[in-house]
A = this chain, B = another copy of it.
Amino acid sequence: MTYRAPLKDMLFVMNELADLNAVSQMPGYEEATPDTAQAVLEEAARFNEEVVAPLNRAGDLDPSSWKDGVVTTTPGFRDAFRQFGEGGWQGVLHPSDFGGQGLPKLVATPCIEMLNSANLSFALCPLLTDGAIEALLTAGTDEQKAVILPKLIAGEWTGTMNLTEPQAGSDLAAVRTRAEPQGDGTFKLFGTKIFITYGEHDMAKNIVHLVLARTPSAPEGVKGISLFVVPKFLVNPDGTTGARNDVHCVSIEHKLGIKASPTAVLQFGDHGGAIGTLVGEENRGLEYMFIMMNAARFAVGMQGIAVSERAYQHAVAYARDRVQSRPVDGSAREAVTIIHHPDVKRMLMTMRALIEGARAVAYVAAAASDAAHQHPDEATRRENQAFYEFMVPVVKGWSTELSIDVTSLGVQVHGGMGFIEETGAAQYYRDARILPIYEGTTAIQANDLVGRKTVRDGGAVARAICAKIAETEAALGQHGGAAFVAVQGQLKRGREALEAVVRFVVENAKGDPNAVFAGSVPYLKLCGIVFSGWQLGRAMLAADAKRGEDPSFYDAKIATAHFFGEHILSQATSLRDAIVAGAEPVKAMSVDQF
């Protein structure tokens, strides 16, 4: 089974739902015409299908290994990463000033999806490097930018994010790593960081660690955290590398999945101090880290969609091949391929509907991010920024939560063969399980959605989104076809459920935070479901308009949206009950009663 990039699906979403044409008319994105975007995607598809995807299984069987501080990646990874850099893929999204291609996020996003479908473990290295690039672009000194950014963007060096410590997982207030000023503008860092993705490896000449630490004068808590660049090899002003820095990988984790991606424990300063330079201003590290994290959170959401797509393709291929049992409607006397059985179709449609909904939400959010940066009108930029920020925790939380269900269905479609590792379906199920955890668990995303994204503005953005959803409902009603009206009804119930929940959240966040946060993850899921249903409602209208061009393709879009409405969007009222009425029993249960 090999991966085939779903270019047609991607281009449909980009053109019909995310309005690539409008994005390509914004200043700076003039080159990103639909034709150019398609050419970029086709090239990305070729590279990921031919070079990256074949290494996925190898990475599981022969994962990264650690010996005496050195991490050796899966055979083939190093060469593939060289080709990745040479192909310019690390720079798709980044400014041409530093060697990037400067394409819109809407065009970069499907490229990122493909890379992750091809190989989740491999893709993590560029994903973290993207985060480091974002942070340096925002807050790096001119020298850091001039020297480091071209290397990262060229794929010659890679980046990491060093947040977590043994006592500080989600709670960054507990960070203890120390940074002592040396008087020459540099700092010496001392501490232990855990769960550092690609914290050590052999795919690049240097690794640029971005590290949260405290200076001696720092206040306690999150307001005393600064961000430092600590390269594996010290960097000369001309970009050449010098001595080995005092940061060492003391072990890597033995994990459930994404085994090819080394997860390092890094020890800073055990031999005199790891030399680092400050990024931006002292004590503003968390702010900069959030820039990295927001980029990374969106990208991890794409990982959820990507691994789901790969699992879906694997399951479809098996279902087309495996012959078992006669059809339930008696239409054949012999056994048929299992894709003919209604329950197998139902499972495949569930996978497909979840993926297509989440993809549409993510790409539309990416287009909003582009408009937030480059739209000529300031009010439009602001509006798009608010929309995008609302969407980030939803894209991250919802797309990763659904990847658990989709990859699990992928195993189920295979029957007993799914449980055998050789089949490959189990790897997606194992790999996906980290996605709702890293870069902020689903609960952390949900806290962000409740606190910063909903309560802070009194639910204004949420209500504005609901108003747009109501427009789609009206258009579906106007169409009048049975499937369209059915989706209209489910979307209306879903949107009303969401409005009720937004009211509940806004009204109770202050007075009864335990009630609101007991429903925060269901609220995030409700957003994921309703927004997906909204985008698929728009998709079915767009498909209907273009149906004549390719009836089989567009009819499938309509059937998928209809399926989503009845099977998934219909869950909205249950989530509303869980949030609005379901907090009482959570509060009633004391911690001793578990």
Q: How far is the CB of A312 from chain B (nearest CB, A)?
A: 9
Residue of B nearest to A167 (CB): B323
Min CB–CB distance A564 → chain B (angstroms): 8
Bound CA span A254–B426, Å: 11
User: Which of B255, B482, B593 interacts with A556 by CB under 8 Å?
Assistant: B593
Mark contacts of A484-526 with chain B using CB atoms, 8 A cut-off: 1 yes-contact digit, 0 otherwise.
0010001000000000000000000000011101111110000
CB of A584 closer than 8 Å to a CB of B: yes
Given contacts A420-B255, A443-B343, contact A563 B591 (CB under 8 A): no
Q: Are B591 and A339 in contact (CB under 8 A)?
A: yes
Docked Cα-Cα span, A517 to B325, in Å, equals 14
A450 and chain B: residue at smallest CB distance? B328
A513 to B329: give the CA distance in the assembly, Å.
Answer: 6
Across the interface, do A567 and B552 meet the contact criterion of CB distance under 8 Å? no
| A287 adjacent to chain B (CB < 8 Å) | no
Cβ of A83 within 8 Å of any chain B Cβ, yes or no, is: no
Assess whether B434 is in contact with A419, with CB atoms less than 8 Å apart. Answer: yes
The answer to the question of A559 belonging to the interface, with a C-beta cut-off of 8 Å to chain B, is yes
A586 and B443 contacting across the interface, CB-CB below 8 Å: no
Cβ-neighbour of A340 out of B169, B446, B591 (below 8 A): B591
Q: Is the CB of B517 within 8 A of A555?
A: no
**Which residue of the partner chain B has the closest CB to A336?**
B591
> Quick one: which of A565-594 are within 8 Å of B by CB?
566-567, 570-571, 573-574, 577-578, 581-594
- Say whether B570 contacts A585, CB under 8 Å: no
Interface size on A, residues (CB 8 A): 103
Contacts from A to B (Cβ < 8 Å)? 164, 167, 169-171, 173-174, 195, 253-257, 316, 319-320, 323-325, 328-330, 335, 337, 339-346, 348-349, 352, 404, 408, 411-412, 415-416, 418-422, 426, 429-430, 433-434, 436-438, 441-443, 446-447, 482-483, 486, 490, 513-515, 517-522, 552-553, 555-556, 558-560, 562-563, 566-567, 570-571, 573-574, 577-578, 581-594
Return chain B residues, CB-CB under 8 Å to A514.
Answer: 328-329, 342
- Copy number in this complex? 2
For residue A230, give the distance in angstroms from its CB to the closest CB of chain B: 22
Given that A169-B416, A594-B348 are contacting pairs, would A588 and B562 also be in contact in the complex, using a CB cutoff of 8 Å? yes
Decide yes or no: A585 and B573 within 8 Å by CB, A170-B325, A594-B352 being known contacts: no
**Cβ–Cβ < 8 Å partners of A563 in chain B:** 582, 585-586, 589
Which residues of B sit under 8 angstroms from A519, Cβ to Cβ? 346
Instruction: Name the one of B253, B320, B324, B408 contacting A591, with C-beta atoms under 8 angstroms.
Output: B320
Q: Can you list 10 A-B contacts (CB < 8 A)? A: A171-B325, A256-B420, A316-B594, A341-B443, A346-B518, A346-B521, A555-B588, A559-B588, A559-B589, A573-B573
Closest to A517 in B: B342
Q: What would 20 more interface pairs be, CB under 8 Å, given A195-B416, A345-B591, A412-B436?
A: A170-B325, A171-B324, A255-B421, A330-B513, A343-B446, A343-B518, A345-B518, A346-B518, A411-B437, A416-B437, A418-B433, A419-B433, A426-B433, A482-B584, A483-B588, A522-B567, A559-B589, A562-B585, A563-B589, A567-B574
